[in-house]
Chains A and B, each alone.
Chain A
Amino acid sequence: MKQSPELATRMTEKLDYEEMLGCMRCGFCLPTCPTYIRSKDESASPRGRIAIMKGVVDGLIEPDEGVEKTLNECLGCLACEPACPAGVRYSVLLEDARAAITDHKRATGQMPVRERIVRKVVFDGLFLNKAKMETATGFLRFYQQSGVQTLTHKLRILDWFPDQLQKMETILPTVPAKTERRRRPERIRATGSPTARVAFFSGCLMDTMFYETNANTIKLLQAAGCDIVIPNMQQCCGALHGHAGEQTGAVTLAKQNIAAFEAEDVDYIITNAGGCGAFLIGYDHLLKHDPEWAERAERFTAKIKDFASILLEVGFLDRVPLTLPEQVITYQDSCHLRNVQKGALAPRVLLQAIKGSVYIEQQHADHCCGSAGVYNLLQPVIANDILEMKMGHVNATAAQTIVTSNPGCHMQMQLGIQEHGTDSMRAVHLADLLVEAMDNHAN
């Protein structure tokens, strides 16, 4: 499909030229980029992708399908950003370029029907509206609980779907009942003397499919002495929209979230999913040109903290002893927690504080696992190659427990265990493992 020349104009308008010029092309990003490590192809590197965007703006190349392909193949893990000597904000360039492409396709009617429907359902329907999200995961619960799942497997209905979806279907967590979720109070008091007042960002996937992990995160915060509020009016963070070039949807959600949280007088806004945290922390950039919202967004982002860092800060380890049965634990970084929220240290400190278990750092723990939002569904070949490399490093640690801090990574690691691991391995969210260690010690 040949794209009309107006796309170049759109990209020129959208992309920050100063930011692209900031790339010195030194190549320090190359050894951090999973797609470059995999292919050693410069057009699959951050430096290459910036040059390609700039090449379009400079008129050196047309924005053809090759350009779109290489931008789509980027995981968006942002391992390149901390490695960049010049501090280029690659994430901003990538999202702006993707937004230009999406806008252009929509405006010129070039978006294939199937993609248009998927985007409509996912971005305008599901994730833009928490009630619909709950209904949809309600269907998933029905599917899992009613026997339809067993029937589906028996009838091999999934054989009609692409390979990757089939694999993912088997590792979906069990969805809790809606009533259980409704019973959660909006305000929860600290155990013992209070150390901080926090608001909890519950997320959409985290609050439905990973409801248990949210409940455990709250339990940990409570034990650490936090008074917790979970504002009812909060929405999905908008990360999936932003990463897929749906900026309008992301902006709507950002404003709703800022409004929901600024009503509360809290020290921190806590996240337990790296992907959400990183997107929330970027609201100031998303809304910087909106005079009504720019300042409010800055106040909001200044309060965003991941739960592990806060646990350490308020002295969780002094209050709560942690013990586990003998096992080897390793940690898989959430790219966005590490590269954007700068939260790589706290999870490791917490895990190493657990008595009874042994923590072994896997080689390249900071490399993306290939999940990257919905990347593993859109780019299954690359995602599977990356997962296979990842599992090689995981297996080398002989770990039984792989700890994650983001729902996407969690499911991807489960897939990794299923495809390349052993029966004695499990993937656990950091919050779930900490509660396990807390309860285990108490018993």
Chain B
Amino acid sequence: MDWMNQLREEIGADVVFTDPTTRLAYSFDATPNYQAMPDAIVAPRSTEHVQAVLRLCHEHRVPIVPRGSATNLAGGTTPLSGGVVMDFRHMDRISEIDEKNLTVTVEPGCITAHLAEAVEAKGLFYPPDPSSMKISTIGGNISENSGGLRGLKYGVTADYVLALEAVLPNGDVLHTGGKLAKDVAGYDLTRLLVGSEGTLAVITQATLKLIPLPETKQTMLAYFEDLDSAARTVSRIIENRIIPATLEFMDKKTIEVVEAYANIGLPTDVGALLLLEQDGPRDVVRHDIEAMHAVCLEEGALSVEVARDEAHAETLRYARRIALSALARLNPTTILEDATVPRSEIAEMVRRIEAIGRAYDIQIATFGHAGDGNLHPTVSTDARNHEEMERVEAAFADIFAAALDLGGTITGEHGVGAMKAPYLEWKLGPAGIDVMKGIKLAFDPHGIMNPQKMFAKAAKKRIVQGGTS
């Protein structure tokens, strides 16, 4: 292929890989059942390199998939149309930590946890903490608008992106935003690029907002007899004007699976557990933990445990931390979804998920971020069992429909990618899809940016089947 030789000439043969072994290693992400071979992997060293690659791809109509660490769960970084996978291993620097403006400027390949450590060493705090933060890159987090455990109190990635440098498909460089708390000059292109899943432009640098590091943190764990008392506790805590840093939830099924795997003495006769954490000034944390403790008891918690020290806190977090591991070991294929509802609807949503699981005769365990309504119904199955996979897909369609019915959304933090593209119209309606397609066309007239993602050829027909009623 001519464009590939030209590519090697322009940015160097040492950053262009086309051997089958490397191509295979970039043919997937963390989404079950998605795989496609790219034609080349390109690892630019600079914004100029990115420009050169995009110009060539634009000219030769070659698909391009920007990729961080490929941890995403919706097929977003699988190169479904082949073409070039752009890898940011060489663009991973922290360019600046600005202690006057409380910002950090980074290249997209920087690992999220590395960024968090670097700013924490200076007493500063970058709050977004997706579960994959030790692996995922900032570029990936921005492209997916990743959430995390601290979403309720601190918001998500979008709330911390102040400025972006991005390269358009034609090779032009776009600068958005600045180190500014206020900026209303034109459309908010920063916000538009955040969560655009690599379908509009390639992000080459980001300036992120930092806040002071909280002084201290406290952890507690509470068990409840049933789902409703746990859900009422969540609502009552918020009504009491307390916004905890973490408010995690595990349902009965998840507790059973975790206990069967780890034997840590979790009571398996309970209906739900909540993991609660508060951070901030010492007095505030003590007050909030006491208040949350009281609410848990008032709502009929079977037991409440407050961490004595950090080591104890770690044991309290353990069950929640290993939930995915425990579920992943049940069967070869684990599908993790992220339907999200207003937090007042959590109990109802979990009940609907349980009913859907029964109706389709599949194993669904639900855990997730109770504080912000972001649930992770997780199906344990076997991708080789086609009949069961059809039931799984039908069940997920029903779960999306149920979430929308309760005022929620089809994805809270994982993104649309390829997996949820057929359902996007359910959320946005035809008008929403049309506006988004118009935006896409303005950025990427030839459709080279991460094709087959976000927009499906045809929307899924919305039929109410099975479990929802």
A interface list, Cβ under 8 A from B: 18, 21-22, 24-28, 30-31, 39-43, 45, 48, 51-52, 55, 60-62, 64, 66-67, 69-70, 85-87
Contact = CB atoms under 8 A, between A and B. Distances in A.
B375 interface: no
A436 B132 CA distance: 44
A45 B30 CA distance: 14
Given A21-B332, A41-B89, A86 B22 contact: no
Contact of A43 (B22, B29, B113): B22
Contact of B32 (A24, A40, A41, A45): A24
A41 B328 contact: no
A86 B30 CA distance: 13
A412 B89 CA distance: 28
B329 interface: yes
16 contacts: A22-B332, A27-B71, A28-B132, A31-B134, A31-B135, A39-B89, A43-B25, A48-B25, A52-B25, A66-B19, A66-B22, A67-B21, A70-B21, A85-B328, A86-B325, A86-B328
Give the interface residue-count category, chain B.
35 or more
A52 B23 CA distance: 10
B266 interface: no
Contacts of A27: 30, 69-71, 132, 135-136
Contacts of B329: 85-87
Interface centre among A60, A67, A86 (most CB of B within 10 A): A86
B270 interface: no
Interface in B37-76: 37, 69-71
Contacts of A31: 111, 113, 134-135
Contacts of B23: 61
- Chain B interface, >50% SS class: loop
Interface string B3-31: 00000000000000001111111111110
Contacts of B69: 27, 30
Contacts of A60: 24, 27, 35, 37
Interface in B107-159: 109, 111, 113, 132, 134-136
Nearest to A22: B332
B324 interface: yes
A180 B126 CA distance: 62
Contacts of B22: 41-43, 66
B43 to A, nearest CB: 8
Given A24-B32, A25-B28, 14 more contacts: A24-B334, A26-B132, A27-B30, A27-B70, A31-B111, A31-B134, A43-B24, A55-B27, A60-B27, A61-B23, A85-B322, A85-B325, A86-B329, A87-B325
A322 B204 CA distance: 56
Contacts of A67: 21
A87 B24 CA distance: 23
B344 interface: no
A42 B23 CA distance: 10
A60 B23 CA distance: 10
B135 A86 contact: no
B450 to A, nearest CB: 18
B383 interface: yes
Interface centre among B22, B25, B109, B135 (most CB of A within 10 A): B25
